[in-house]
Amino acid sequence: MAAAKRAAARRKTGPPHRRKAPRRVVKRDRHTAVKRAAARRKTGPPHRRKANVSTVGLENYLTETSAVRRLIFLRAAASIEFYLRGEGRNRPGAGLSALQPRLCSQGAQVCPEPRSIPRGCSCRCHSHTPPGSLKRSLRGPEPAQQHLQDQQCLLCSQRWDSSSSSCWVSVPVEGLASQEQFLEVAQGQCNVTFGQLACAQGIWFQDLPDDFLISLYSCLASKPPRAVDPEYSILFFSKYDTRKLLASLTMFSQQLSLSPLSLEWSGIFTNGLWQRMLRVPATETPPLLLRWLREGFEPFPLEVFSCLRAKDASCEEFQLLVAALDGIYSQLPVKEQRNIYTGIKHFLTQDESSQKCYSEAVPTLNSTAWFRNYLGSFLEHATVEDLMLFWDEPTLQKFAKDPVNMEMVGKLTLLRETALFYTLLLSSAPALPLSSLPDRLICYLSPRAVGNLNLSREEVLGAAQRLGKSCPWTKDMPGGRAPSSLASQELQVASSLVNSLEDFSPAVLGALGQAALGLSVSRIQSSIPEEQLGAALPALAGVRGWSAEQSRAIVNKLLRSGYQILDGRSLAELGTLVGGLNSSTLRSLSPDVVLEAIQLPGFAQHVDTLPSALKTILVEKVSSRVGHPAELVKLIPNALASYIPKSLLVFGEEKPTVQDLNNKPWSRDQAAVFFGDVVKAEPDLSRLSQSVLQGFTCAAASAVGAERFQELAKVMKKKNVRLGQDQLSCLQKMVTLHGIPKDLDSYPKDLLLFLSPSDYAATGNCSQFFSNIGKANGDVLPREAPRRQQLLLEALECLKVPGTQINEEHAEILGWLLCDLGGEYIRTSGGSLLKDLSRCGSFLPEQEEAIRDILSSGNTTFGPPAAWSAFTLSELSGLIPVLDHSILQEIPKKALTTWLRNFSWDSPVSREELATIIGELLPHRHKREDGCPADLKITEAVLDDNLMPTFYTPEQLHACLRNVSLEGHFSQIFTYPFNIPQLAVLKEYLDERYPNGYPENLLSNLGDLLSLITPEEISTWNMSSADTLAAFLKSNPPDSLASAAIIRYLGLGNALNATALNAIGTRYVCLLNATDLEAIDPSSLGLASLNPSACSQEAKNILYQKAKKAFSDQHRLPAYYELISPYLGGAPAVDLKALSKDNVNMNVTTFVALRRDSLMLLTPREVQGLLGMNLPELAQWQNWAPVRDWILLQKQSELDKLHVGLTGGTQEGYINLVTPKFPAPSSAPLGTVAMALHLLPALLLSFLMVSSLS
């Protein structure tokens, strides 16, 4: 009777599809009960007859047992593990997934397809939990408890006694675990299964240590999950005390945060933990859930969101989860934030027919604070496409204007296009008052938005002031690109605001603040009265970020209005506009005016943004009025320090203070000049700055003593000083001079590049050695250097890498050495190396091919290119230059566009590489445009947008450039990534506008247009000043164009002064012919920084003699060698012999580049004097010219005295018969001819001796 009553109760309360034919169900139950009683009398409880609960066993068990058992089974087992993606017969759960349709077909609604269910999460068939009621069924204590009893009975192989409503005692298939075995897991002994642990007595869980979950995971991680493990997880965590569970999860998170769980076990643990958290009384749920997510959630990846979706979690539950995750948002790395956002989006959009947790008709779901409730701070990672996927535009506008959402958005940094879209939603009719717009969104007011708002003059000025205060205007860009996307957007906003004004009085210009950058050159020239410009100067001089064209237009107009620069104060009053002065105006100023100006703080802080040519002039002016280099160092602003010529940093007796030197950002070559003086005079080496310490030289270090040198080396480690290859080579010799130190970790990491694992043995093992190598500055060694390849081979041997397979642990240790792996390693390791390789910067052809093959295959975590998103491209930004046309055309155009708008400008991708991508976005077939389409008209806003190249095909650009002036935008527009066809259109435009040669202000801004310019065109340019030449050469044109520019410059009668020589620099100095070189004044060369080592011998000879004269005043000072060393390739033997007495410690690379005839005249003793501590390296060069030729001319006995292993010299009593290679008589120095005549008798004597012996 009891069974019948319970069955009747279920018929009344169960789902409609289970209420059919109640009498038949009752009869079946009674019949089964009779059979069961008879079976018990014969053989005992059924669990003793069935010992197998495998997949097949469960299926048979379901078929053979009663309807009551079927109900229990459907409640607990129907959800078991079919969710695991059965991608092959050997995958966990592949067998049980086939059982799912049958289980759910007993009248239940079928669960989702297996591939849509995450690993480790069980789906619940709706036969027992109608849609929307999961929360109630789980949180109610009685149904939840009943469900756990069902699980305990089924999963632990126990039988349900319907008469007593309890489980019969039984022995599970795996056997019961004893309490001793249970607790042994905490000690790392894995002798029990997860099922045995889940079936253990609840009281045993009270004595578990807090690190039990760590030990448990270590035991489980090595085993493949089983089909029933997700249900075991629910049972296992249900027995944990809440507080003890939180303590265990906190420790679990701390231990495994750096090595997350596998996808399978993450889902299994999440399956049980989520159920456990929801069973806690409702009043405690929010803080408990929050604590779990803050303290214990970190190891669990995104599967939790798919798991919640499969479990049909309610919107209220999901809102709790988002609120808890929002609480830890700032603590998460960006990648994890993005991953979690992907999970949130998946939950909200997986079921397209759902209401996505908003409905005006449902009181609990009608809040318009939807962004705050269901996205939180993760809105920062939402694209416009995502928002449109969530809701239509009217609904989004309703959400955007919600005060709670607006308050949150005001604190977030949205993606650029998302911020633009959000701002447009707020400004759409009915538009919000501008005062209600969050400050951060002021930066994204588009021209359309400004037009929608219909602002008054006062509102425009108010918005301008907020724009200046709220938006970061000075964002730096990688690769020298400018402006950034953010700055570009601000310029558009400023331009939109300024264009709505007609009055530009001093008061208005002052109120605009940073928004004054929106003034176009044409408006500066036409709308600002000259007589009012002087009154507005204080405001305009404080605006940061003027373009060259804007500042030039303002300054020229100011000077025409009668403004005079008579003293330092009037020069300083120009502030940020000082860059608008042309070089001829600045050169005309008195040095006293410049000296006074740079001592005014208001002027010094604006010098940093000046063009290089103007900085050089300022240094020349100041140095001409300062009596001593020490005073120059004290007076010169930091922004000008790197422009001080090396010859002016030789201090002599009067030296600057350490504080004065420490405060300046010196170059390595500059610091090398005074490094010796500083280390001798400074007792506390730790006071020296990184900038000073980078000037380390062998000569200076060898003079301080061994103990002090060790101190110096360790200080360089603490200050993270980056040294060059020659410096590190010297450092290595000195550190190891008296043996390998046992504390090598106390020295600069880069030093290890020149040591071996055996040298490091006293400090650590080879794995630690290569871990430090991987973090060192690999750029010290050239890409093709044998030492790099040797280090890589030694690292692979140390790590015992099997074949060509590199795992993640190996990759972390190898660091930058990964960048030298061959293509076969990259292919074999699959996609696991891609993120590390994206930081390499450049690749060899075979590496590029391997990377393309992997990316094309789609067998990576990024998927096939056709599935990539903008975020994928952001993660792969370092590999984008490797992508070829076949890959680029597969990437969705929307993903490329979104990436360009939001991420590309902060990536290391060059302008040329961006142009390639833009070429993929433009249509490849198009007709010639007869006119410019109305929606493509080129406006100020378009010219200020660095995405302008994406707006126009070449034909459209040609049509739309008519009657448009680009003159005020040269410094911007040629930084944009136009492709070659678009650049050809721009060049045609310039050629039409300037048929007699481009103007000077354009030559420094040609950018990629250089690839279309010919030397013949350059011959027509007005290259009338050294500053113009410097501006052009700064764009790094190819040698043919640079040579044409230099010839044009000299052809117009200009001299090779210091400005011109610095502009020509080391890269182009070899383009000068002998006539040009002879015309250089030594004093100008002394103020330049050149290295002619790659030039012809004739050029090196000429420049050495001029440099020797230029530095003659410093000949007796230690710094002389640092000044003259770049020119030593032209030094005669007599000067080298004199230099050998000065303890210069010449590096071997300089030695082998000396004049050959001079080197051959040096004795072994003189070579030792020149090389000093670098002498042992000579042995590595003895088989190559010119060292080999020099050795053949020396006596072996003299070479042996060097004790460096040189062989091949002349033995006593013998003469090496070497045929001298003499220059042509017309150019042979007298010393060479004399040497040949001197050797002639010896050659004849040798011939006679050989003849007589034969």
DSSP state of 1234: H
Give the pLDDT confidence of 335-348 residue by residue, as tens digits: 778 888 888 888 88
* CA–CA dist 1123, 629 (Å, integer): 15
Q: In the structure, what pLDDT confidence band is assigned to residue 750 with cuts at 50, 70 and 90?
A: very high
Contact 1108, 1125 (CB under 8 A): no
Query: Would the pLDDT of 286 be above 50?
Result: no
pLDDT in tens, 1139-1182: 999 989 999 999 999 999 999 999 999 999 999 989 999 999 99
Distance of CA 837 to the CA centre of its chain: 12
Cα–Cα distances (Å) from 775 to 750, 756, 780, in that order, read 9, 16, 12
**Which pLDDT score is estimated for 1176?**
92
Decide if 836 contacts 811 (C-beta within 8 A): yes
Distances (CA, A) of 612 to 615, 626, 1031: 5, 21, 8
For residue 235, what are the contacts with CB-CB under 8 A and spacing of at least 6? 148, 151, 152, 155, 156, 198, 199, 272
pLDDT of 248 higher than 60: yes
What are the pLDDT digits (tens) for 1012-1065?
999 999 998 888 888 889 888 988 899 999 999 999 999 999 999 888 999 999
What's the pLDDT at 485? 41
Burial (Cβ within 10 Å: 0-12, 13-18, ≥19) of residue 616: buried
pLDDT digits (tens, 9 = 90+) for 500-537: 888 889 999 999 998 899 898 888 988 888 888 889 99
| 173 has pLDDT over 70 | no
What pLDDT does residue 147 have?
A: 57
Q: Between 252 and 87, name the one with better pLDDT.
A: 252
Determine the length of the chain.
1254
At 166, is the secondary structure helix, strand, or coil?
strand
Q: What is the pLDDT of residue 48?
A: 36
1079 or 167: whose pLDDT is higher? 1079
Residues 6+ apart with CB under 8 A from 797: none
Please report the pLDDT score of residue 469 as a whole number.
83
DSSP code for 577: G
496: pLDDT confidence band, cut at 50, 70 and 90? confident
Residue 179, pLDDT score: 81
Q: What does the pLDDT average to over 563-589?
A: 92
Nearest Cα neighbor of 978 from 947, 956, 1001, 1002 is 947
Instruction: Say how many C-beta atoms besides its own lie within 10 A of residue 211's C-beta.
Output: 14
Q: Tell me the pLDDT of the chain averaged across its residues.
A: 78
Using the predicted structure, report yes or no on whether residue 666 has a pLDDT greater than 70: yes
Mean pLDDT of 127-140: 31
Rounded CA-CA distance 358/391 in Å is 10
Query: Residue 487 has what pLDDT?
Result: 59
- Once rounded to an integer, what is the mean pLDDT over residues 168-195? 70
Q: Is the peptide bond before 506 cis (omega within 30 degrees of 0)?
A: no
Q: Which residue has the tokens 């003259």?
A: 1124
Name the burial class of residue 962, with classes exposed (0-12), middle (13-18) and buried (19+) by CB atoms within 10 angstroms of its CB. Answer: exposed
The per-residue pLDDT for range 399-414, each reduced to its tens digit, is 999 999 999 999 999 9
Range list of H helices, 158-240? 179-184, 194-198, 212-221, 229-238
Query: Cβ(149)–Cβ(239) under 8 Å?
Result: no
> What average pLDDT score do residues 650-661 get?
89
What pLDDT is stored for residue 17 in this prediction?
A: 40
Distance CA 367, CA 358 (A): 7
- Residue 11 is predicted with a pLDDT of 45
pLDDT digits over 896-913, tens only? 888 887 777 677 788 888
- What is the CB neighbour count within 10 angstroms for residue 62? 18
The token pair at 1036 is: 């790094």
pLDDT value of position 1217: 53
pLDDT at residue 597 is higher than 90 = yes
Per DSSP, the three-state class of 168 is: strand
Residue range 370-374: mean pLDDT, rounded: 94
Q: What is the mean pLDDT of residues 378-392?
A: 90
Structure tokens at 978: 């136009």
Listed residue (1146, 1158, 1229, 1159) closest to 1188, CA to CA: 1159
The model's pLDDT over 940-978, given as tens digits with 9 standing for 90+, comes to: 878 878 788 988 999 999 999 988 888 878 878 888 889
* Percent of the chain at pLDDT exceeding 70: 76
Count of other CB atoms within 10 angstroms of residue 1122: 27
Q: What is the pLDDT of residue 679?
A: 92
Residue 1117's pLDDT band, with cuts at 50, 70 and 90, is confident
- Tell me if 818 sits within 8 A of 840, measured CB to CB: yes
Residue 428 burial (10 A CB sphere; 0-12, 13-18, 19+): middle
If you average pLDDT over residues 1193-1202, what whole number do you get?
Answer: 94
Taking the alpha carbons at both ends of the chain, their separation in whole angstroms is 132
Nearest to 606 by CA among 628, 638, 631: 638
Structure tokens at 1091: 């290295």
Q: What is the pLDDT of residues 811-865, one digit of tens each?
A: 999 999 999 999 999 998 888 888 889 889 889 999 999 999 999 998 888 889 9
Are 1051 and 1042 in contact, with CB atoms under 8 Å apart?
no
**pTM of the predicted model as reported, rounded to 2 decimal places:** 0.71
Among 37-41, 630-634, 972-976, the range with the most confident prediction by mean pLDDT is 630-634
Q: How confident is the model at residue 1251 (pLDDT cuts 50, 70, 90)?
A: very low
